[in-house]
Amino acid sequence: MSMPLLTTVVLVYLFIVGFLTIKAYRSTNNAADYMLAGREIHPFVMAMSYGATFISTSAIIGFGGAAAVFGMSLLWLTFLTIFVGIFIAFVFFGRRTRIMGLNINAHTFPEFLGIRFNSRGIQGLTGGLIFLAMPLYASVVLMGGAKFVAQILSTDYNAALFFLTIIIAIYVIMGGLKGVMYTDAFQGSIMFCGMLALLCITYYKLGGVIEAHEQLTSMKDIAIAIFGAKGHTGWTSFPTLGSPYWLVVVTTIILGVGIGVLAQPQLIVRFMTVKSNRELNRAVLIGGVFIMVAVGVAFVIGALSNVFFYYHDPATTGKIALLAADKNVAQIIPLYISHAMPQWFTAIFMVTLLSAAMSTLSSQFHAMGTSLGRDIYEKALGLSGNSVLITKIGILFAILISYFLAWGLPAFFEGGTAIIARGTAIFFGICAAAFLPMYFGAIYIPRMSKAGAYASFITGTLVSVFWIFFIHEKEAKPLMLCKTLFGVDSLASGTLWTLVDPLVIALPASIIATLIFSRMGSKLPQAHIKACFHNILYFKK
């Protein structure tokens, strides 16, 4: 690779990020600016920030690599993220969240729930789960970015991880949510252009759209010979119904991420950054197009990488993508970029991957920092102090935890194989089970009691954790708690239950518990409910 070209591209990129950070820093004057960007963000910035936060290296590196194994069946996740993650989220959740957040003057998602249910305990528990669980998600995003940088520059993974973390830490701590969203919009634009360019060059390399897909379809027998016992039917068709691969694709990847997106704290808070529902309406189209390109291209390229490695790469001829990458799913996309793309594009795409990592990580660090500083320290514990300073300290703690997890996870989870996609799905699933029924009730069910909110959180969290530690073998086996206590890798060993994602069990359990307990306990004061639902629902006198 041309180092002068790469250096120039990266320096220009960092200069623009720095400029946007300083701009945000100078216009951040209070807690509302730092935590909610002043509630006056432009719809383009909001939509691009939402999309760039959602689409990280997990989608491009992690799920792109997963698509190289499972094939284009993962495109169903693209549909679900557009329909659920954009349309449903913005139209049916975003509008009410924005209005209610303004009514109750909420600055964070936990604070939104805490004030809505008149409970500092709910705010503290929600903030605590975010601060404890989100570092896993942040760490795998860091891993994805660092792995790509290390692959392209032929440098040490730990060195790449360190410098990537330092760069993100500086602009998140300085600029607050304004800095995060300004840079997200810029980074999202780079991601959009980079992914489109990657798709076009890939089709050119493989002889065109029709030729590329015909070659991939013709590799059906190869896929069945290697993965057929697990239900693989080819890279352009869906796995066999009820097979191990079908359970992974449907329950973990499609449902785990496609439904979990509705309950992501770092995304929900963006609904409260615009000044009217008109901005949300305008953001739907922008966000939908962005997600279609950013997610869809990653899945298409991941599947088509099998054609390139098997037929077109002299170094890997006769090998599918997984074998070309020495069975490391996380290395498939970086290897494909370095082998298939021209040098000039590799430099550009490194910035695309940096943008994907930095946009998501900045939002994660901000969400964790506000959870620790405002939701736990100030509200749940009732301690006083400078909100912005405390949040910055919380962000610093979150960054350190995520960094050390990203440093240790590759060795802990089977050399890092598929941990990027898996860590993302775990966090999305926990959020959906713990938060989604409570969040839905908060904005749609005025009479929902505090007991129902607690039931949603406690049931969703406990069932998810139990399934992760004792049933779902991909996590239970490396965590070894089940092995230590019961002498087996999973309590469901020998059955397909070991492949069922925690979300499929925990979310229904959480919904049932919420419905049962919502009618129990003391009712919230009518005046409080009216204040929350002002301009949302009409109340009779």
Residue with token string 């996380």: 330
| Residue range 3-422, CATH number | 1.20.1730.10
Give the contacts of 388 (CB within 8 A, at least 6 positions apart).
30, 31, 34, 176
DSSP symbol at 525: P
Instruction: Kindly report, residue by residue over 355-384, the tens digit of the pLDDT.
Output: 877 777 777 888 888 888 888 888 888 877
What are the Cα distances from residue 116, in Å, to 62, 92, 97, 119, 449?
Answer: 36, 18, 11, 8, 10
The ranges of the chain with pLDDT < 70 are: 1-3, 28-39, 57-58, 148, 151-152, 171, 174-178, 387, 409-421, 538-541
Domain ranges of the chain: 3-422
- In this predicted structure, what is the pLDDT of residue 358? 77
Q: Is 147 exposed, middle or buried (0-12, 13-18, 19+ CB in 10 A)?
A: buried
- In this predicted structure, what is the pLDDT of residue 474? 85
- Nearest 10 degrees: CA dihedral of 467, 405, 53, 7? -150
Q: What is the pTM of this model?
A: 0.87
Nearest to 197 by CA among 55, 81, 301: 301
Torsion-angle region of 2 (φ positive above 0: left; ψ -120 to 50: alpha; else: beta): beta
Q: What SS3 state is found at 255?
A: helix
- In this predicted structure, what is the pLDDT of residue 35? 59
With DSSP H G I counted as helix, E B as strand and the rest as coil, what are the percentages for the chain, rounded to 5? Answer: 80, 0, 20
Give the contacts of 295 (CB within 8 A, at least 6 positions apart).
55, 59, 63, 77, 78, 81
Q: Say how far apart CA 188 and CA 181 lie, in whole Å.
A: 10
DSSP symbol at 83: I
Give the contacts of 510 (CB within 8 A, at least 6 positions apart).
433, 434, 436, 437, 455, 456, 459, 460, 463
Cα angle vertex 362, ends 359, 363, to 5°?
A: 90
Q: Say how far apart CA 189 and CA 37 lie, in whole Å.
A: 20
What are the Cα distances from residue 145, in Å, to 173, 271, 351, 356?
Answer: 20, 27, 10, 8
- In this predicted structure, what is the pLDDT of residue 374? 83
Contact 333, 322 (CB under 8 A): no
Q: Say how far apart CA 146 and CA 334 lie, in whole Å.
A: 11
Q: Say how far apart CA 492 and CA 400 lie, in whole Å.
A: 35
Buried b (16+ CB within 10 A) or exposed e, 474-485: bbbbebeebeee
Q: Say how far apart CA 315 and CA 166 lie, in whole Å.
A: 35
Which residue pairs, CB below 8 angstroms and at least 24 apart, start in 128-133?
Answer: 128/371, 128/376, 128/380, 129/430, 129/434, 129/457, 129/461, 130/265, 130/367, 130/368, 130/371, 130/375, 131/368, 131/371, 131/372, 131/376, 131/394, 131/398, 133/427, 133/430, 133/431
- Does the CA dihedral 213-234-295-1 come out positive or negative? negative
- In this predicted structure, what is the pLDDT of residue 231? 96
- In this predicted structure, what is the pLDDT of residue 28? 66
Buried b (16+ CB within 10 A) or exposed e, 32-54: bbbbbbbbebbbbbbbbbbbbbb
